Structure 1
Amino acid sequence: MTVLILTNEQDVTADMAVVELNAGGIPVLRLDPAELPGGVGVSGEFAHGAFHGHLSVGGRVVSMAGLRSVWVRRPGTPAARALAASDWLTEEASQSLYGMLRCTDARWMNHPDAARQARHKPWQLWLARACGLPVPATLITTFPRVAREFAERYPDLVVKPVSGAHPDGHGMAVPTTRVRPGEDYRDVAHGPTLLQRRVRKVADIRLTVVGDRLFAARARSEPQAEEADEAVVDVRFNDTAGPWRPVHVPRRVADGVHAYLTRAQLAYGAFDFAEDADGIWWFLECNQSGQFGFVEIETGQRIGRAVAEWLAGEPLGPAVESQGPDPAPHR
C-alpha cells in the first residue's frame, strides 16, 4: 500500500521521511495540490454503493483504495498553478481532492479538519492550559484601554501576530518582539493584537511529537540579547541562539503534550517552549505542520524515520545513516 504525501517540491523536511520510506521499500506518491489540474489528476466514481478513486502524477496512477496514510505536510493551494486559475477553480479542486481522500480508510497526519482547528492560536493557548502546560499571561484585544490595563499588570510584554501570517501575504514570518516602553496601545484598535508576558528565558525548546514519540531539542539563549528595548525575542531571527542539542523531556511536559495531541486529534505536532531560569517550560505554540529538518540535522534525532514509520504503520528496516547523535529519551 502507498503513502501519499501532499507537499510542495521544495519541502526538504518531507525529503527526510521519503528517504526512510524508500529505504524501507514503502511505496510513496508525492504531489502538490497546486498542480491540480494539470500535473496532477484526480478521478472518483460513486456507483453501486461503492467508491473508486484514483490519483495521477508524472504518469503514475494510484488507487485511493490502496492508500495506507496521507501526510498533509506543506501542500500548495489547489489549482494555484492552473492555466485558468481562479477562486472558483481552487474551491472545485480542493473539494474534489480532499473530499475523495476523506472517503478512504487511510490514516491522516494530520486530518484537514483537525489541522484547521489546530491553527487557531487562542484555542492553542486554551488547550495547552487545560492539559496542564504552563502558559504565559496573554491578551488578545482590539480595546486600547484593556491593553493598557494588561500592560500595567505585566509591564514586560511581547507582541506577536495572532495568526502567524505576514500582513503582506508573502509567506514570511513575523518575529515576536518586545513592546516599547511607554507604548500607548492606540494601534490595537486597528486589528486584534496578541500581547504576552515575556518569559525571561534561558533557552528555547522545540519538542517534536510523532504519534507517541518525543524528540526535544534545546537552544541556549543569550539573556543580554533580549534586554534591549524593541528587541526581537524570536529564536527564528536570533543568530546568537543555539546550537540545538537533544534534551530530556520532563514528565509533566510529556504528559501535557500527549494530552494536547489526543484532544486536538493530531498525530504530529511541533511545540515551542521558552525555558526560564527555574527550568519551567512555558508553552508558546504548537505548529501542526512544523519543520523538523533543522532539528534532525543539528541533533541527529531520527524524526524523519519516526514520521516514516508512523506513515508506514510498521517498523522499517535498518535506519538510514544519521548525521549526528541518537535522540535523547524522555523522562
Structure 2
Amino acid sequence: MTVLILTCEADVTADMVVVHLHTTGVPVVRLDPADLTEGVALSGEYMHGSFRGHLSAGGRLVSINGLRSVWVRRPGTAAARAAEPSGWLTEESSQALYGMLRSSGARWMNHPDASRRARHKPWQLRHAQRCGLPVPATLITTFPQAAREFSARYPDLVVKPVSGAHPQDPPRAVPTSRVTPDTDFSAVAFGPTLLQRRVAKRADIRLTVVGETMLAARKTTAEDDEVDVRFASAASPWRPTDVPPRVAEAVRAYMRDAELAYGAFDFAEDADGTWWFLECNQSGQFGFVEVETGQPIARSIAEWLARPVPDGAGLVNGRDTVVP
C-alpha cells in the first residue's frame, strides 16, 4: 500500500522522510494540490454501494483505496497553478480531492479537520491549559482599555500575531516583540492584538511529537532580549534534552484530545526549569532540529506513515473519533 504526501515541490523537509520510506521499500506518491488539472488528475466512482478512486501525478496512478497513510505536509492551494485559476476552480478541486481522500481508510498526519481546528492560537492556549501545560498570562483584544489594564498588571509584555505569518507571497514571519513601557495601545482597536506576559527564559524548547514518540531539543538563550528564537543568534546550538514526566503526560493529552499525529511544540524554559507553553504548530518544520541534534525525526515520521492501515475506514489519525 502507498503513502501519499501532499506538499509543494520545494519541500526539502519532506525529502528527508521520502528517503527513509524509499529505504524501507514503501511506495510513495508525492503531489501538490496546486497542480490539479495541470499535471495532477483525479477520478472517483460511487457505485453499487462502494467507492473507487484514483489519483495521477508524475506519470503514476494510485488507488485511493490503496493508500495506507496521507501526510498533509505543506500543500499548495488546490488548482492554484491551473491554466485558468479561479476561486471557483479552487473550491471545486479542494472539495473533490480532500473529499475523496476522506473516503479512504488511510491514516492521516494530520487529518484536515483536526488540523484546521488546531492551528487557531486562541484554541491552542485554552487546550494547553485544560491539558495541564503552564501558559503565560495572555490577552487577545481589540479594546485599548483592556490592553492598558493588562499592561498595568503585567508590565513586561510581548506582542505577537494571532494567526502567525503575514499573508504575503511568500509568507513573511512576523517576530514576537517586546512591548515598550510607553506604548499607547490605541491602535489595538484596529485589529485583534495578542499580548502575553514575557517569560524570562533561560532556554527555548522545541518538542517534536510523532505519534507516541517525543523528541525534545533545547537552545540556551544567549541574551535576555532575544524574545523570538526564530530570529535569535546562532551562537547556541540546539541540543537533545529530556522531557519532564509531567510535561510528557500533558503533551500526550494535548495530542490525543486534539486528534493530532504530529505536533511541533514551542516552550520557553524559565530559571526554575518550568516549560511554558507558547504554541503547537501542527505542521511545523523539523529539519533544522534534526540537522543540529541528530534526532531521528524524519525516520520516526516515515515509520509512522509506513504502518499498516488500521481496521475500519474514515478514521482520524488512526482513531475511531469524530472531529467536530
Give the TM-score taking structure 2 as reference length. 0.93
Give the aligned partner of residue 280 of structure 1. Answer: 274
Matched, 1:261 2:259: no
Partner amino acid, structure 2, of 1:128:
A
Alpha-carbon RMSD across the aligned residues, in angstroms, is 1.0
Give the drift of 1:184. 1.1
SS at match of 2:256: helix
Report the AA paired with residue 287 of structure 1: N
* Alpha-carbon distance in structure 1 between the residues aligned to 2:195 and 2:32: 36
**Cα separation, partners in 2 of 1:7 and 1:131, compared to 1, 3 Å:** same
Gaps of 5+ in 1: 227-231, 315-331
Residue 108 of structure 1 deviates from its aligned partner by 0.2
Match of 1:310 in 2: 304
- CA displacement at 1:168 relative to structure 2: 4.0
| Match of residue 136 from structure 1 | 136
CA contact (8 A) 2:42 2:53 kept: yes
Alignment of 1:170-181 (within 5 A): 170-181=170-181
**1:38: which partner in 2?**
38
Give how far 1:59 is off. Answer: 1.1
CA contact (8 A) 1:221 1:241 kept: no
CA offset at residue 165 of structure 1? Answer: 2.4
Q: Count how many residue pairs are aligned between Structure 1 and Structure 2.
A: 308
Matched residues in 1 for 2:243 and 2:78: separation? 38
The question of whether the paired residues in 2 share the 8 Å contact of 1:235 and 1:241 is answered with: no
Alpha-carbon offset, residue 169 of structure 1: 5.5
Contact 2:201 2:221 in 1 (8 A): yes
Aligned to 2:124: 124
Q: Deviations over 1:99-122 (max 9, x none)?
A: 000000000000000000001000
Paired residues of 1:40 and 1:56 also in contact (CA < 8 A) = yes
CA distance in 2, matches of 1:177, 1:58: 44
Which residue is equivalent to 1:82?
82
**Native 8 Å contact 2:79 2:89 kept in 1:** yes
Please report how far the alpha carbon of residue 240 of structure 1 lies from its aligned counterpart in structure 2 after TM superposition: 4.2
Query: Contact between 1:221 and 1:240, CA under 8 Å: does it hold in 2?
Result: no
Q: Does 1:233 align with 2:227?
A: yes
The residue aligned with 1:190 is 190
Name whichever of 96-105 and 235-244 sits farther off: 235-244
Q: Is the 8 A contact 1:201 1:223 kept in 2?
A: no
AA in 2 matched with 1:14: A
| Equivalent pair of 1:161/1:193 in contact (CA under 8 Å) | yes
Name the CA distance, whole Å, in 2 between partners of 1:43 and 1:26: 24
Once the two structures are superposed, residues 85-132 of structure 1 have per-residue CA deviations (whole angstroms, 9 ceiling, x without a partner) of: 010000000000000000000000000000000010000000001001
What letter is aligned with 2:155? Answer: P
Q: Distance in 2 between matches of 1:202 and 1:39?
A: 49
**Pair 1:152 & 2:152 matched:** yes
Name the TM-score, length of structure 1 as normaliser: 0.92
Counterpart CA distance in 2 for 1:60 and 1:168 is 33
Q: Which residue of 2 aligns with 1:48?
A: 48
Q: Deviations over 1:156-176 (max 9, x none)?
A: 000000000215454111000
Kindly indicate whether the alpha-carbon contact (under 8 Å) linking 2:222 and 2:236 is maintained by their aligned counterparts in 1: no
Per-residue CA deviations over 1:166-201 (Å, capped at 9, x if unaligned) read 154541110000011210100100000000000001
d(CA) in 2 for partners of 1:240, 1:58:
39
Amino acid at match of 1:106: A
1:137 partner amino acid: A
2: CA distance between counterparts of 1:98 and 1:222? 44
CA distance in 2, matches of 1:6, 1:116: 15
One-letter code aligned to 2:135: V
Is the CA contact (8 Å cut-off) linking 1:200 and 1:223 kept in structure 2?
Answer: no
Q: Amino acid of the residue matched to residue 17 of structure 2?
A: A
Distance apart, 1:134 and its partner CA: 0.4
> Identity across aligned pairs (percent)?
70
Instruction: Report the Cα offset of residue 223 of structure 1.
Output: 3.1
CA positional deviation for 1:12: 1.1
What is the alpha-carbon distance in structure 1 between the residues aligned to residue 150 and residue 102 of structure 2? 44
Could you report, residue by residue, the CA deviation over 1:28-51 in whole angstroms, capped at 9, with x for unpaired residues? Answer: 000000000111110001111111
1:219 is matched with which residue?
219
Contact 2:136 2:198 in 1 (8 A): yes
- Paired with 2:290 and 2:136, the residues of 1 have a C-alpha distance of 28
Distance 2:63 2:237 in 1: 44
Matched to 1:279, the amino acid is G
CA distance in 2, matches of 1:246, 1:174: 27
Query: Is the contact between residue 159 and residue 195 of structure 1 (CA under 8 Å) also seen in structure 2?
Result: yes
Q: Does the aligned pair in 2 maintain the 1:2–1:67 contact within 8 Å?
A: yes
Structure 2, unmatched stretches of 5+, are: 309-324
Q: Secondary structure at the match of 1:22?
A: helix
- Residues 1:297 and 2:288 are matched in the alignment: no
Which residue of 240, 243, 254 corresponds with 1:246? Answer: 240
